[in-house]
Amino acid sequence: MAVIGIDASRATSTAPTGTEAYSLHLLRALVPLLSPEHVTRLYFRDPPEATPGHSLLVDALSRAEPRVIPFPRLWTHIRLSWEMVRHPPDVLFVPAHVLPLVRPRRSLVTVHDLGYRIFPAAHPASQRRYLDLSTRWNVKVASHILADSAATRDAIVAHYGAPEERITVVHPGYDSDLHPVQDSQALTAVRAHYRIPGDYVLFLGRIQPRKNLVRLIEAFAATLAHHPTLNLVLGGPAGWLSDEIPARIRALGLSERVLVPGYIDPADKAALISGALVFAYPSLYEGFGFPALEAQACGTPLLTSTTSSLPEVAGQGALLVDPQDTAALAQGLRRLLEDSELRRRLVACGYENLARFSWQRAATQVRDIIDALAGP
């Protein structure tokens, strides 16, 4: 009987974004699949019952041994390391952070992206150093590495020299509860809640330079000559180096037309995406790009980038443009706003594309790797 330890600390975030949502949904699907011959321990920094994601983790918690080990700072390297010393598991899986300094001999870690290496100017220097050190550590000491996409796998090999055979591409799933909202009252209500005065183009994600929002704002400004009543909604929490974005909005005189409502309540996401004329996700670099699949799930035409994992993720269900070409972004927006046949085709292809992604499939792949690491 092997003990499988899983760092579940990121699954209890009060405002989950990409990697936190990955941790939550993967653990929800994975823990029930783990062999009953194993003991599964979930390590939490905060009590899971006090977090919004608790209802999603109930089944996982009933099949595992939760260990809440609070600690104010450096939780991973001090508190989780100490837990590894006192009660070491046979295998440790870290889905959304860094392996602790002390760890069992067999370990599995997910590396989500290397955007800080590809576009260093989009990250503060201190953040770049931390991400580089933590990823370098993960790649060096992990028994096996999960990558969200082939693009991320290739970047790990290129930048850190990891042998490809130590890396498995496991595409994450998406929130299958998302679906097109057609109820006019629900669509009107979500527009009123976020004070959107009319038709809109939507972006969802963390507000930071890597998301390429300054170029999106400039492309939107060019589009207004042909669609003068259009609005742009940039939904998501503020990230690092985000001050340039409101400054550019003011400089272009778009304060009434570009809305930045902050973090979007997950309960509002389906209606907000469904009500958009276009979902614009022109990120410079993504290790995966969950919002692309969310747009497809809600039946909204998707404009995204030709770079990194985004073509791999979006498949045939998106209009792809060079994210560093503002004119191409503007032209892409106009095509999706004006070409009804293109919109219809991309939405249909988007629904077909979603069949490639599920948390159950991802969890099955991860379960098999954990079983191989745990041994007979």
What contacts 129, CB < 8 A, 6 or more positions away? none
CATH architecture of 3-173+358-371: 3-Layer(aba) Sandwich (3.40)
Predicted confidence pLDDT, tens digits, the chain (376 residues): 899 999 999 988 776 678 888 999 999 999 999 999 999 999 999 888 766 667 778 888 889 999 999 999 999 999 999 999 999 999 999 999 899 999 999 999 999 999 999 988 888 899 899 999 999 999 999 999 999 999 999 999 999 999 999 999 999 999 888 999 999 999 999 999 999 999 999 999 999 899 999 999 999 999 999 999 999 999 999 888 888 899 999 999 999 999 999 999 989 999 999 999 999 999 999 999 999 999 999 999 999 999 999 999 999 999 999 999 999 999 999 999 999 999 999 999 999 999 999 999 999 999 999 999 998 7
Q: What's the CA gap between 286 and 152, in Å, rounded?
A: 9
Domain boundaries, the chain: 3-173+358-371, 184-356
Same fold flag, 3-173+358-371 and 184-356: yes
DSSP 3-state of 198: coil
What contacts 29, CB < 8 A, 6 or more positions away? 173, 359, 360, 362, 363
Count CB atoms within 10 A of the CB of residue 376: 4
What contacts 14, CB < 8 A, 6 or more positions away? 51, 52
What contacts 249, CB < 8 A, 6 or more positions away? 217, 255, 258, 260
Q: Which residue has the tokens 């919002």?
A: 291
What contacts 2, CB < 8 A, 6 or more positions away? 37, 38, 39, 89, 90, 91, 374, 375
HEC profile of 67-107: EECCCCCCHHHHHHHHHHHHCCCCEEEECCCCCCCCCCCEE
Count CB atoms within 10 A of the CB of residue 256: 9
Q: In what order do the strands lie in the sheet with 302-305?
A: 258-262, 231-235, 200-204, 278-281, 302-305, 319-321
User: Minimal CA–CA distance to 211: which of 271, 292, 146?
Assistant: 292
pLDDT at residue 52, rounded to an integer: 65
DSSP bridge partners of 93: 6, 108
Count CB atoms within 10 A of the CB of residue 350: 25
User: Minimal CA–CA distance to 146: which of 293, 365, 304?
Assistant: 365
Looking at this protein, which amino acid is placed at residue 302? Answer: L
Residues in the chain: 376
Q: What's the CA gap between 361 and 357, in Å, rounded?
A: 7
Q: Which residue has the tokens 């949502």?
A: 21
CATH superfamily of the domain spanning 184-356: Glycogen Phosphorylase B; (3.40.50.2000)
Calculated CA dihedral for residues 287, 291, 295, 298, nearest 10 degrees:
120
